[in-house]
Structure 1
Amino acid sequence: MKTLKFWRLFAVTWLYIFGAAIAEAQTQPLSDGPYVRYTDSTITYDVEYVCDGQAQSKKVNVISLTLGRYKACQQNGPALGIVKQQFERDNIEYNGDFDVIAVSDFHGQHKLMLELLRNNKVIDQNDHWALGKGHLVITGDVFDRGDRVTEILWFLYRLEQQAQLAGGKLHLLIGNHEVMVFNNDLRYLNPKYRDVSQILQTPYPKLYDNNSVIGRWLRSKNVIVKINQDLYLHGGLSHQLLQYQQSLGQINQLFINAMVKDEMPRQRNRLESFLHGRQGPIWYRGYFYWPIIPIAQLEQVLAYYQSNRVIVGHTSYSEIKVRFKGKVLAIDSSIKKGKYGELLKVSEGRYYRLTLSGDVEQLNIK
């Protein structure tokens, strides 16, 4: 009887403490933004915010946006970096004597992302680029699940510009969740952004359409990049892809052109539908789940694209995994859970796991 009373008291206490915390979090006023849209002027932009649950909109000049000299939510807005009208598409292939850091599937986990990048010297304590001439590859899935997607996108937007000034490079690749949001598939959208959409009276995908700065920037991104004989992408390259005999550049161009259905003048053709299907580069899981690709077929894919290995996200593990004797590296380390994450480092032909605390472990890759 005493034991039963104890557990009842414990349960009541737990509900009181944690229930109050949850209720407080749920009732805390919602703030989000900015959402920056182009106007007919090249120097003035429409900026929308949610501040304490209320919609705000204003016209802001490009200098104020770049430097953060504008009011948002009763304080200076964030410095957004240089706000551009047009964005050049990156190359498909890069070669050189530089380090590469790769990571995947941030899924709105802004705080954990910053901690991971800081602890491994990718950014400094002021969250500025610290990788010098190195390359940082994010293999997709910034959107969905977490509640700090907006912050991550603007952070990467600025960081890309800082990397370029330092002689380095940031590669943000397209994942399946970017394509889902663009096409109004909002199954995994955090409830916060449903509220934001309602407050701003704007469908969530429209906040990232081609008339928005971030939306136009994302549409300039690739689905795949080859760096020093390694292929980086979100899901993977299936053996079935070889039947189409497409180069990496052709795959990328066809994929991007067919990325947003409502922006196409026609329906996707057979090849475009394949690229956006389960055997395509953002959805493929055949390196990990049945039917698993035979190693001979994987080697044919790598030989066709003159590559040593494929480095992918999309399929989550607790840490970076080596598959197929090092021909596949899985770098989705479950950052989406908000607890832990890892980076892959490639330096002088060697591969390393970088942990959240900054520890380094060389991977056994032949």
Structure 2
Amino acid sequence: MFHSSFFVFRNTALILMLLLTSSVSTFAFSMPAEKAKVEALTIISTPVIKPTLAPVNDGPYVFVNQQQQLESYWLCQGDVVTSVTETVNFPLSISACNMPAQIHALTSIENKVLEFSGDYPVAALSDFHGQYDVMIELLTNNNIIDENKNWAFGKGHFVITGDIFDRGDKVTEILWFLYDLEQQAQQAGGGIHLTLGNHEVMVLNGDLRYLHPKYIKTAQRLNKPFEQLFSQNSILGNWLRSKPVLVKVNNMLFAHGGFHPSLATEKRSLLDINTVFKDSLIKAELEQPREGWAKFLHKSNGPIWYRGYFAQDKGATSAEIDMLLKHFDVKHIIVGHTSQKQIETRYQGRVIAIDSSIKRGKYGEILFIEKGKKWRGSLSGKVLPLYDE
């Protein structure tokens, strides 16, 4: 009986062990799936934390009202501050929250002169993209401005081939700085030539895809689409509309992107290019949509978008560069738009690329031309050679 009971007990124990093993195995294999479900639910239920933008300081945005007064708007730690100023005489200073501006006139008169010549030094650079601090450091160390941010280039001519807007967060500061510096340069017998870049034209037309979040917040707080902060009746908007898309200084032709070879084969003049481009500048202000040559000038082969000097395939040929130089009677075409690590040349020095990636906020260079010599000014003010490829 003992022997028989032992076998019954042993069989019962074996069955219990098998059941227990099966349960443990099932639990073990089901844990990852259950854990994954829990983790998935946790991920889904965890709120996405977006980085918060610090309270915005921006401005001023200044408009001329129907009474010929200045209506000015600032954002001070996110709060809207406004003022109305009588325009008795100019220049006129306005300021709030340590954000000043000098107003020189109610409107900016467009200078239709596109060609300048003289025995003076020339400096050129491009594509600030909101990097005010790098710009000031670069201009100060290269003696374009002094320690007080005033004009120090004498009778020199300073060319900026566009793209002040987008990417960076100090666009407004750059605009007001250049607006005032331009007046200082003229008074000293020199000149500043700002040509329109693709980002100026984009913003004026409401294409805001590269706008820094700060300016999205500005537009929201001021309850206006950002492009309307640069409307025709605004001081800066009116000033920007007065700027050309190209300029010729001595034997050099400047534009943001460049000149497509077809402009030479079709015998287009600098005046024609600039006039047609400017007459079709802002789509919302046109009676009819752009068409024909006006449309061409605002597309990829136009002067603010063209990259044919840097394309490895299907770019401009050496013969086409010679044709452009001969047609426009210059020795060099100088452009920004296509970023480089430093100022560089193409086509054995006939094309000079001056977008030195200031937009990254770390470095930048200035091209200098004086008495037939060319060199690069570094961020620290060091004189560097310009190599002809």
Superposed pair shares fold, TM > 0.5: yes
Residues 65 and 36 of structure 1, relative CA distance in 2, 3 Å threshold: farther
Cα distance in 2 for residues equivalent to 1:71 and 1:101: 31
Moved more, 84-93 or 292-301: 84-93
Cα distance in 1 for residues equivalent to 2:335 and 2:252: 11
The aligned counterpart of 1:13 is none
Asked whether 1:72 is paired with 2:96, we answer yes
Moved more, 111-120 or 88-97: 88-97
Q: Which residue of the other structure, out of 337, 356, 363, is the alignment partner of 1:340? A: 363
Residues 365 and 228 of structure 1, relative CA distance in 2, 3 Å threshold: farther
How far the C-alpha of 1:90 sits from its partner, in A, is 4.6
Asked whether 1:137 is paired with 2:159, we answer yes
Q: Secondary structure at the match of 1:62?
A: coil
Cα distance in 1 for residues equivalent to 2:375 and 2:323: 26
Q: Secondary structure at the match of 1:280?
A: coil
Whether contact under 8 Å (1:240, 1:279) holds in the other structure is: no
Cα distance in 2 for residues equivalent to 1:332 and 1:125: 25
The aligned counterpart of 1:62 is 87
Asked whether 1:36 is paired with 2:49, we answer no
Cα distance in 2 for residues equivalent to 1:335 and 1:78: 24
The aligned counterpart of 1:17 is none
The aligned counterpart of 2:43 is none
Q: Secondary structure at the match of 1:232?
A: strand
The aligned counterpart of 1:303 is 326
What's the CA shift string for 1:248-267, capped at 9, x where partnerless?
A: 01100100111101111111
How far the C-alpha of 1:51 sits from its partner, in A, is 1.2
Q: Secondary structure at the match of 2:200?
A: helix
Whether contact under 8 Å (1:90, 1:221) holds in the other structure is: no
Cα distance in 2 for residues equivalent to 1:292 and 1:89: 33
The aligned counterpart of 2:246 is 224
Q: Which amino acid aligns with 2:130?
A: G
Q: Which residue of the other structure, out of 324, 336, 339, is the alignment partner of 2:347? A: 324
Residues 131 and 352 of structure 1, relative CA distance in 2, 3 Å threshold: same
**1:206-217 alignment runs, 5 A limit:** 206-217=228-239
Q: Which amino acid aligns with 1:201?
A: N
Aligned residue pair count: 339
**1:175-254 alignment runs, 5 A limit:** 175-254=197-276
The aligned counterpart of 1:50 is 75
Cα distance in 1 for residues equivalent to 2:270 and 2:324: 12
Residues 240 and 115 of structure 1, relative CA distance in 2, 3 Å threshold: same
Q: Which amino acid aligns with 1:336?
A: K
Cα distance in 2 for residues equivalent to 1:151 and 1:30: 14
Cα distance in 1 for residues equivalent to 2:142 and 2:376: 11
Asked whether 1:166 is paired with 2:182, we answer no
What's the CA shift string for 1:160-214, capped at 9, x where partnerless?
A: 0000000000001000001110111111000110000000000000001111110
Structure 1, unmatched stretches of 5+, are 1-21
The aligned counterpart of 2:382 is 359
Cα distance in 1 for residues equivalent to 2:101 and 2:89: 8
What's the CA shift string for 1:37-89, capped at 9, x where partnerless?
A: 011233x2111111111122221233698453x5513x5x5141413324232
Cα distance in 1 for residues equivalent to 2:314 and 2:87: 51
Q: Secondary structure at the match of 1:325?
A: coil
Cα distance in 2 for residues equivalent to 1:355 and 1:71: 33
Cα distance in 2 for residues equivalent to 1:50 and 1:81: 19
How far the C-alpha of 1:105 sits from its partner, in A, is 0.2
Q: Secondary structure at the match of 2:179?
A: helix
The aligned counterpart of 1:88 is 110
**1:139-158 alignment runs, 5 A limit:** 139-158=161-180
Cα distance in 2 for residues equivalent to 1:65 and 1:46: 16
Q: Secondary structure at the match of 1:358?
A: coil
Q: Secondary structure at the match of 2:159?
A: strand
How far the C-alpha of 1:150 sits from its partner, in A, is 0.3
Cα distance in 1 for residues equivalent to 2:385 and 2:179: 30
Q: Secondary structure at the match of 1:217?
A: helix
Whether contact under 8 Å (1:354, 1:361) holds in the other structure is: yes
Whether contact under 8 Å (1:241, 1:279) holds in the other structure is: no
Cα distance in 1 for residues equivalent to 2:129 and 2:86: 31
Q: Which amino acid aligns with 1:99?
A: P
Structure 2, unmatched stretches of 5+, are 1-49
TM-score, normalised relative to structure 2: 0.84
TM-score, normalised relative to structure 1: 0.89
Cα distance in 2 for residues equivalent to 1:102 and 1:328: 13
**1:9-24 alignment runs, 5 A limit:** none
Whether contact under 8 Å (1:81, 1:161) holds in the other structure is: no
Whether contact under 8 Å (1:134, 1:168) holds in the other structure is: yes
Q: What's the Cα RMSD here?
A: 1.7
Q: Which amino acid aligns with 1:322?
A: T
Cα distance in 1 for residues equivalent to 2:349 and 2:259: 16
Cα distance in 2 for residues equivalent to 1:253 and 1:335: 30
The aligned counterpart of 2:19 is none
How far the C-alpha of 1:244 sits from its partner, in A, is 3.5
